[in-house]
Amino acid sequence: MIKLNALITNTSYYCGISYLFRKIFSSKGKFVIMFHGVSKKKNPNLPMDIQPHLDINQFNFILNWIKNSFQILDPDTFMTSQQNGVLLTFDDGFLNNFSNVLPVLETYDAPALFFITTENIEFPEKWLHFITDKLKNYGINKSDLSRDTRKDLFDGISKRNLIKMSSNPLVTIGSHSKTHPLLSQCSNEDLNVEIIRSKKYLESLIKRPVRFFAYPSGDYNQLVLDKVSNSGYEAAFGIDKIENLGRTKFEIPRIGIYSSKKPYLAAKFSGLYQSPIKYLK
């Protein structure tokens, strides 16, 4: 399936189809892009699938590529205006978003929305469960890794750095829950902690309203959606596939970017992979 996708991606790129569609669609709507961690550089001594998908060079290349075809929108312009373009988002709250991503955004004067998992902030060295699980699968212990590797690849952003980052005019902070669970499996009490308490915690740190939420792993149901929309958030974001419970601004789809290859980018932004967003209900 992966090979077939690559074949279609490459064929449409080299035949100019992706380019054509991008030209048509980029003038007709908006896309939301989802990134995660970005490392300084790939670590050759660690399995690739436990590292961030992108390093700084790749991220730089992607941003340059996006800027050439699209306007990069800040969250307010994205939500309220008819302006076409791309909203950049980053999930999970890694320290490398502050140390590696922010300087590149500043170079391109590109605004972005960062979704923070708050347990990562309170205890930056308490890693997200899916990272710990992946390392365990490879028999790797945290103590096997150097401090620099841990910070570059896996640590959460500290409170101090989050506060610093949030004061940058290019940065908007949103919530990505407290512990990154599958929200559709949570009790009502847990939902209060993950959705409401995470918002309050972030607001008390950064001293401004937290208006946006991103569902961990893109997982939600009607109950979760109602809880988010009744908790003072203005919008919520899914991932590539959304449930489409009502096509509202609490189900905004995003396109995950995991490679910097041109044919891959062209296909993801072609409008064929995901239709551009025309308006938000």
| Calpha distance 90→37 (Å, rounded) | 8
Which residue's CB is nearer to Zn ion, number 55 or number 92?
A: 92
Per-residue b or e along 77-96, where b marks 16 or more CB atoms closer than 10 Å to that residue's CB = bbbeeeebbbbbbbbbbbbb
CB of 180 to Zn ion, least distance (A): 6
Q: Which residues pair with 213 in a beta bridge?
A: 175, 236
Which residue's CB is nearer to Zn ion, number 74 or number 91?
A: 91
CB of 27 to Zn ion, least distance (A): 31
CB of 131 to Zn ion, least distance (A): 11
Q: Where are the alpha helices (DSSP H) in 55-167?
A: 56-69, 75-80, 95-96, 102-108, 119-122, 129-137, 147-149, 159-166
Choices 102-110, 163-171, 193-201, 212-220 (CB under 5 A): range interacting with Zn ion? 212-220
Choices 85-93, 99-107, 165-173, 196-204 (CB under 5 A): range interacting with Zn ion? 85-93
Which residue's CB is nearer to Zn ion, number 75 or number 174?
A: 174
- Helices 2-14 and 17-26: angle between axes, nearest 10 degrees: 80
Which two tokens mark 7? 């074949």
Which residue's CB is nearer to Zn ion, number 174 or number 216?
A: 216
Q: Is 92 in the site for Zn ion (CB under 5 A)?
A: yes
Phi, psi angles (nearest 5°) of residue 256: -80, 135
CB of 216 to Zn ion, least distance (A): 5
Which two tokens mark 114? 């960062």
Per-residue b or e along 152-188, where b marks 16 or more CB atoms closer than 10 Å to that residue's CB = bbbbbbbeebbeebbeeebbbbbbbbbbbbebeebee
Residue 138 identity (one-letter amino acid): Y
Q: Is 194 in the site for Zn ion (CB under 5 A)?
A: no
Choices 48-56, 61-69, 86-94, 204-212 (CB under 5 A): range interacting with Zn ion? 86-94
Which residue's CB is nearer to Zn ion, number 21 or number 237?
A: 237
Task: Kindly determine how many residues on this chain lie close enough to bind Zn ion according to the rule CB under 5 A.
Answer: 3
Which residue's CB is nearer to Zn ion, number 77 or number 217?
A: 217
Which two tokens mark 228? 């988010």
CB of 91 to Zn ion, least distance (A): 4
Q: Is 119 in the site for Zn ion (CB under 5 A)?
A: no
Which residue's CB is nearer to Zn ion, number 26 or number 177?
A: 177
Among 55, 74, 91, 152, binds Zn ion (CB under 5 A): 91
Binding site for Zn ion (CB under 5 A): 91-92, 216
